[in-house]
Amino acid sequence: MPTRHIPNALEQRTMALYAIDLFESITNMQLIDFLSYTRVMNYYDLQAALYDLNENGLVTSQPVLADNLYSLTEEGKQALDLYKQRCAQSFLDEMDAACQKFRESYQRQREYTTLVSHEGEKEYHALMQINEGKHSLLQLDISLPTATMAKELCDRWQDRAQEVYESVLRILSEERDEG
């Protein structure tokens, strides 16, 4: 059985840059999911690479609900162009092939984020957000008595978020009849 090439630190950082570039911006959890699916890098190597890339100004990291959103800087794009040819082409090909499978669902996940948090004995919060690029358009934090209720709201968010956003805009834009 042939052995699989084990990427060195430079290749790992370059592949992390490559994966981020494929999606333009991607969360840490999405990177973990994507790179474990493609089997090009393990969790620990990815986190070390992201830390190093962020410290050296090759990626930006922006906090989003319970995660971080990564994007390449201009320096990161230049580094990728410079070092991409040092990566095993089979790894890059695996990422290219898998990218199409993940692109649409990752985009929706970045646009409509949710989180359930526990804030006391009988208080749970459903945190729901609509994002456009790196900006939050709407953020809701609803306090609920059970984790089940909070999870149900979060589960419905992707399908109903746009309708909620439009309703909020419509209601807040209506002029009140002061007569």
- Do both 50 and 77 map to the same domain? yes
Q: From first to last of its 179 residues, what are the pLDDT tens digits of the chain? A: 556 667 788 899 999 999 999 998 899 999 999 998 988 889 999 999 999 999 999 999 988 877 899 999 999 999 999 999 988 888 899 999 999 889 888 888 888 988 898 887 889 999 999 988 778 899 999 999 999 999 999 999 989 999 999 999 999 998 776 65
pLDDT at residue 2, as a whole number: 59
Q: Which helix (H) or strand (E) holds 96?
A: helix 89-111
| Residue 49 belongs to domain with CATH number | 1.10.10.10
- 153 vs 16: CA distance, rounded Å: 34
- Do both 157 and 86 map to the same domain? no
First to last CA, the chain: 83
79 assigned to some structural domain: yes
Which domain range does residue 27 map to?
A: 9-109
pLDDT at residue 91, as a whole number: 87
pLDDT at residue 115, as a whole number: 87
At 76-87, the pLDDT tens digits run 999 999 999 988
- Do both 124 and 79 map to the same domain? no
pLDDT at residue 13, as a whole number: 95
2 assigned to some structural domain: no
Q: Minimal CA–CA distance to 70: which of 118, 113, 17, 120?
A: 17
**pTM of the model as a whole:** 0.74
Q: CA of 58: how far to CAs of 18, 44, 72, in Å?
A: 12, 19, 6
- Do both 129 and 88 map to the same domain? no
- Do both 14 and 86 map to the same domain? yes
- 58 vs 179: CA distance, rounded Å: 59
144 assigned to some structural domain: yes
Buried b / exposed e along 69-97 (16+ C-beta atoms within 10 A): bbbbeeebeebbeebeeebeeebbebbee
pLDDT at residue 22, as a whole number: 94
pLDDT at residue 1, as a whole number: 58
Pairing of β 124-132 and β 135-144: antiparallel
